[in-house]
């Protein structure tokens, strides 16, 4: 309970200090203020475990500064993920401490990938490399960050509690561009806080009415049938949904209050990545520290701006789908971008199949999140389900009126899968989790196994017909 108070109090304090931070005009003082506040937050939440963040940061600084740039991203992820594994098995503390380390891990390894891509880009331009141009080169690093820059980025208070993740390029541009000071973004923060209050109300109601402690009660497995035990997960899924929204709504409120992550809508900012078009306009703005599309600065002030880069959830696709891949992509979107851009697209070999690439991505996610049996079951089941879903889409390729019927079917199966997997992120005790799944006879895994067999048979019959 005390840890909860410290965590959420520090979030509210960061929100309240965002307005003061925004008024600081000197970019160096602004950066040091944000890093110092983040370091204070890390000390309050981590306590004596703060030394782990030091090892994490300085280990990556040595890697980024001293190692061959061609392999810096591979060395960084090997070191950081190994250290996270150590923390998962040896750190006896709250989830909030792990959240801090997980956030810093994404930033540091992401920076190593950015450094690697910038180096590959330079080699490509000089004609020294036969490999393809790195992804997102047009919006990559212009110069390698200094040691102080890396420390400031690692401990920067915006997004430190639990995201959202943002690239080093976005962090650096924040101090060079004037977008955050264009207007008063307090109204955006107020809207987020109102939503957080509504989510808190929903979370409290579900917690009072449907306690997760019932999974630990033997009477739950004696007095209730299999159908009731399965459907009880719906309330816990909603409770988890509200809880995640509360945390990330407050985290993004810190950013909006500080004017961080705001970009012109015409630049089409993406979660975690930032602007995806109109790079020339942004470079001009950062170079001149003024906003102008024409000779009249007032025109730029009439441009539409948004915080799309901070977007964490797309609730419509989360609720409706229709496919599981839509749900996965629209949950904690900036984190999903990180694993897609750096693991799926970059780290794995380009010649590898989609199945192998996604397996590597899910494996990296499992280690990052926590390699407990619950997370292994969750990741493995989602991996099988996503590719099975894709296989059935290829087999039948529904069009026209049949497409709607198939989408409804996919959406229903997706919801059943999410309900079935809910205990994996609700029950912390592995023994209780296994007891629960034994009580419902691992029903959805049996369904998935049956669907795999059917898909294999259909594929075999189609190949025979071709012959």
Secondary structure (H, E, C), 320-364 = HCCCHHHHHHCECHHHHHHHHHHHHHHHCCCCCCHHHHHHHHHHH
Return the SS3 of 409.
helix
Q: Are residues 131 and 196 in the same domain?
A: no
The answer to whether residue 290 is domain-embedded is no
Name every residue whose Cβ is closer than 8 Å to that of residue 79 and which is 6 or more positions away in sequence: 59, 60, 63
134 vs 120: CA distance, rounded Å = 7
Q: Which among 347, 355, 354 has a CA at the least distance from the CA of 81?
A: 347
Please give the pLDDT value at position 363.
94
321 vs 193: CA distance, rounded Å = 27
The answer to whether residue 270 is domain-embedded is no
Q: What does residue 25 show for φ and ψ, rounded to 5 degrees?
A: -90, -35
The answer to whether residue 205 is domain-embedded is yes
Burial label for 94, CB within 10 Å (0-12, 13-18, 19+), is middle
The answer to whether residue 230 is domain-embedded is yes
Q: Which among 447, 230, 411 has a CA at the least distance from the CA of 327?
A: 411
Q: Are residues 137 and 234 in the same domain?
A: no
Q: Are residues 221 and 109 in the same domain?
A: no
Domain count, the chain: 2
Please give the pLDDT value at position 2.
86
Q: Which among 173, 284, 276 has a CA at the least distance from the CA of 292?
A: 284
Q: Are residues 158 and 194 in the same domain?
A: no
The residue ranges of DSSP E strands in 358-433, in sequence order, are: none
Residues of the chain with pLDDT under 70: 124-140, 180-184, 279-303, 347-350, 397-401, 464-467
Q: Are residues 334 and 405 in the same domain?
A: yes
Please give the pLDDT value at position 408.
86
Peptide bond into 399 cis (omega under 30): no
The answer to whether residue 298 is domain-embedded is no
Q: Are residues 237 and 166 in the same domain?
A: no
**CB count, 10 Å around CB of 153?**
24
Q: Are residues 108 and 249 in the same domain?
A: no
Token pair for 309: 């880069």
Please give the pLDDT value at position 296.
37
Q: Which domain holds residue 103?
A: 2-177
Q: Are 285 and 378 in contact (CB under 8 A)?
A: no
Give the pTM.
Answer: 0.91
Q: Are residues 115 and 238 in the same domain?
A: no
Name every residue whose Cβ is closer than 8 Å to that of residue 109 and which is 6 or more positions away in sequence: 60, 73, 76, 77, 80, 81, 342
Please give the pLDDT value at position 199.
96
**CB contact burial 71-84 (16+ within 10 A = b; e otherwise):** ebbbbbbebbbebb
117 vs 413: CA distance, rounded Å = 39
418 vs 465: CA distance, rounded Å = 36
Which helix (H) or strand (E) segment holds residue 305: the answer is strand 305-306
The answer to whether residue 197 is domain-embedded is yes
Q: Are residues 117 and 215 in the same domain?
A: no
Q: Provide the CB-side half-sphere exposure for 338 (13 A, CA).
A: 28
Please give the pLDDT value at position 7.
95
Please give the pLDDT value at position 292.
46
Burial label for 35, CB within 10 Å (0-12, 13-18, 19+), is buried
Picking from 147, 177, 207, the residue at the C-terminal end of a domain is 177
Picking from 143, 177, 211, the residue at the C-terminal end of a domain is 177
22 vs 326: CA distance, rounded Å = 36
Strand partners, 306: 263
Which helix (H) or strand (E) segment holds residue 263: the answer is strand 263-264
Q: Provide the CB-side half-sphere exposure for 433 (13 A, CA).
A: 18
Per-residue pLDDT tens over the stretch 381-432:
999 999 998 888 877 766 666 777 888 888 999 999 999 999 998 999 999 9
Q: Are residues 352 and 429 in the same domain?
A: yes
96 vs 45: CA distance, rounded Å = 7
Q: Are 365 and 339 in contact (CB under 8 A)?
A: yes
The answer to whether residue 303 is domain-embedded is no
207 vs 196: CA distance, rounded Å = 16
Q: Are residues 124 and 242 in the same domain?
A: no
Q: Are residues 10 and 128 in the same domain?
A: yes
The answer to whether residue 283 is domain-embedded is no
Distances (CA, A) of 362 to 111, 273, 354, 371, 412: 21, 20, 12, 11, 23
Q: Which among 80, 83, 167 has a CA at the least distance from the CA of 118?
A: 167
Compute the 3-state secondary structure of the chain and give helix, strand, coil in percent, each to the nearest 5: 75, 0, 25
Picking from 154, 177, 200, the residue at the C-terminal end of a domain is 177
């Amino acid at each position: 309970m005390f840890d909860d108070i410290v965590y959420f109090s520090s979030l509210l304090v960061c929100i309240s200090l965002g307005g003061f931070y925004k008024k600081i005009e000197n970019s160096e003082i602004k950066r040091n203020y944000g890093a110092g506040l983040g370091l204070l937050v890390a000390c309050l939440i981590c306590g004596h475990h703060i030394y782990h963040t030091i090892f994490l940061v300085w280990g990556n600084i040595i890697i980024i500064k001293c190692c061959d740039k061609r392999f810096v991203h591979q060395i960084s992820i090997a070191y950081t993920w190994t250290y996270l594994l150590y923390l998962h098995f040896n750190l006896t503390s709250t989830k909030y401490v792990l959240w801090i380390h997980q956030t810093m891990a994404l930033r540091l390894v992401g920076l190593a990938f950015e450094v690697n891509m910038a180096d590959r880009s330079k080699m490509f331009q000089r004609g020294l490399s036969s490999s393809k141009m790195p992804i997102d080169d047009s919006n990559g690093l212009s110069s390698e960050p200094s040691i102080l820059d890396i420390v400031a980025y690692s401990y920067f208070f915006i997004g430190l509690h639990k995201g959202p993740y943002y690239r080093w390029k976005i962090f650096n541009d924040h101090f060079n561009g004037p977008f955050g000071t264009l207007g008063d973004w307090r109204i955006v923060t107020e809207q987020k806080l109102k939503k957080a209050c509504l989510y808190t109300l929903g979370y409290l109601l579900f917690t009072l009415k449907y306690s997760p402690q019932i999974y630990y009660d033997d009477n739950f497995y004696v007095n209730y049938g299999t159908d009731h035990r399965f459907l009880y997960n719906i309330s816990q899924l909603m409770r988890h949904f509200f809880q995640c929204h509360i945390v990330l709504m407050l985290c993004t409120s810190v950013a909006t209050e500080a004017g961080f992550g705001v970009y012109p809508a015409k630049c089409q900012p993406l979660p975690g990545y930032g602007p995806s078009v109109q790079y020339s306009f942004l470079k001009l703005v950062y170079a001149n520290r003024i906003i102008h599309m024409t000779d009249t600065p007032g025109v730029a002030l009439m441009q539409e701006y948004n915080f799309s880069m901070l977007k964490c959830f797309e609730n419509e696709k989360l609720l409706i789908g229709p496919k599981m891949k839509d749900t996965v992509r629209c949950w904690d979107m900036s984190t999903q971008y990180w694993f897609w851009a750096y693991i799926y697209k970059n780290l794995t070999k380009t010649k590898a199949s989609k199945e192998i690439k996604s397996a590597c991505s899910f494996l990296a996610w499992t280690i990052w999140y926590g390699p407990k049996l619950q997370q292994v079951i969750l990741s493995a089941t989602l991996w099988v389900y996503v590719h099975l879903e894709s296989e059935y889409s290829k087999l039948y390729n529904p069009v026209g009126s049949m497409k709607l019927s198939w989408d409804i079917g996919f959406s229903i199966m997706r919801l059943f899968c999410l309900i079935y997997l809910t205990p994996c992120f609700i029950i912390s005790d592995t023994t209780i989790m296994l007891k629960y799944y034994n009580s419902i006879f691992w029903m959805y895994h049996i369904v998935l196994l049956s669907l795999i067999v059917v898909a294999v048979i259909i594929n075999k019959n189609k190949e025979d017909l071709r012959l």
